Amino acid sequence: MTLGRHADLSTSDRRRTAQRGVGVFLVGLVVLSAPAMIYAVIARNEIAVLFLMWAPGMAGLISRLVLREGFGDISLRLGGRRTWWALLIGLGYPVAVAAAAYGVGWASGLAQYTSPEGAATGWIAFGGELLVGLGLGTAIGLVFALGEELGWRGYLLTRLIDAGVPRPIMVSGLIWAAWHLPLILGGSYLTGNGGSVPVIAALFVVQVTVVSYVFARLRLDTGSIWPAVVLHASWNSVIQSVFDPHTTGSQAWLWLGEQGVLTLAANAIGVLLVYRLSGSSLSRRRRETARPATTLS
């Protein structure tokens, strides 16, 4: 299937176009994100978060308009059985990672399980919260996550691949992580439970870079951004809204949470399993589907 006005370009022309796209995207990302981050730090409400999370998506959309690339490769189609399986993986992956990491953390005493004030106690109540977070929380989170994924996996990742950038998944993950750093270093994200801000920032960069391989695999193997959107929404809901509020301890910040060492270990194992179970190699998928102006649907 040919998509976009660059479908008939040579490899070298497509590479130059993709390189320009990466440049335009990064400039747009900075211009749009800076005021959104300031607003998010000051307002600290859901509207501010929504504006911020849509900054990457808007940067991607603007890049398409500036370079007249078209919108066909955004890949909003659900596709066939492969995509539906990927959607299930995206929905369940955060639960598996959190269950492993927080289970070890709570059982070992590195952190303590607790019930937030006003919340029901007991594991049955926790299971109910998890189901609500996985269902309703993820559904609501799709509105937020779609903004980021239109930028990160809907535009940046495929342009990095087409531009011939070495290790494009790692590079996209590092950019994704770096985008969060002003919030972390400014003390408005992940630092509410104490801990060393530089250590939290460093662990978070590694964590996001690692999990970006799961996001990229779901995106590239299906040709759709929806599995990545679902994974993003599920992750935010399950980790941030269900498991984190039930965790306490002076060193909990080091072991658990989005930056936690145990979460990172579970994530690393999860990445290996996803790549082992998903079959085809990245190099082959890169040749077959990672051309944003030509083959992704």
For residue range 121-173, list pLDDT tens digits in order: 788 889 999 999 999 999 999 999 999 999 999 999 999 999 999 999 999 99
Helical residues (DSSP H) of the chain, grouped into ranges:
11-43, 46-53, 55-67, 81-108, 123-132, 138-151, 157-162, 168-185, 197-222, 226-235, 252-255, 261-277, 282-289
Whether 253 is in a domain gets the answer: yes
- pLDDT tens by residue, 16-39: 999 999 999 999 999 999 999 998
Entry field: residues in the chain? 297
DSSP annotation string for 105-170: HHHHTSSEE---TTSPPSHHHHHHHHHHIIIIIHHHHHHHHHHHHHHIIIIIHHHHHHTT-SSHHH
Domain assignment present for 51: no
Interatomic CA distance for residues 46 and 31, integer angstroms: 21
Tell which residue, 100, 28, 25, has the closest CA to residue 269: 100
77 part of a folded domain: yes
Q: Is the pLDDT of residue 9 over 90?
A: no
| Structure-block tokens of residue 134 | 């996985």
State residue 163's pLDDT score: 94
Domain count within the chain: 1
Mean pLDDT of 218-240: 95
pLDDT of 292 strictly over 50 = no
Q: pLDDT value at position 120?
A: 60
Task: Report which of residues 203 and 81 the model is more confident about.
Answer: 203
Q: Tell me if 5 is assigned to some domain.
A: no
Dist. CA 82–CA 222, nearest whole Å: 6
CA 117 to chain centre: 30
Q: Would residue 256 count as lying in a domain? A: yes
Mean residue pLDDT across the chain:
88
Calculate the alpha carbon distances from 262 to 158, 252, 255 in Å. Answer: 30, 10, 5
Report yes or no on 247 lying in a domain: yes
Buried (b) or exposed (e) across 3-40, using 16+ Cβ within 10 A?
A: bbebeebeeeebeebbbbbbebbeebbeebbeebbebb
pLDDT of 118 reads 62
The DSSP letter of residue 237 is I
Instruction: Report yes or no on 99 lying in a domain.
Output: yes
Token pair recorded at residue 267: 């994530």
Q: Which domain holds residue 268?
A: 73-289
d(CA 286, CA 17): 17
Q: Is the pLDDT of residue 3 over 80?
A: no
Structural domain includes residue 102:
yes
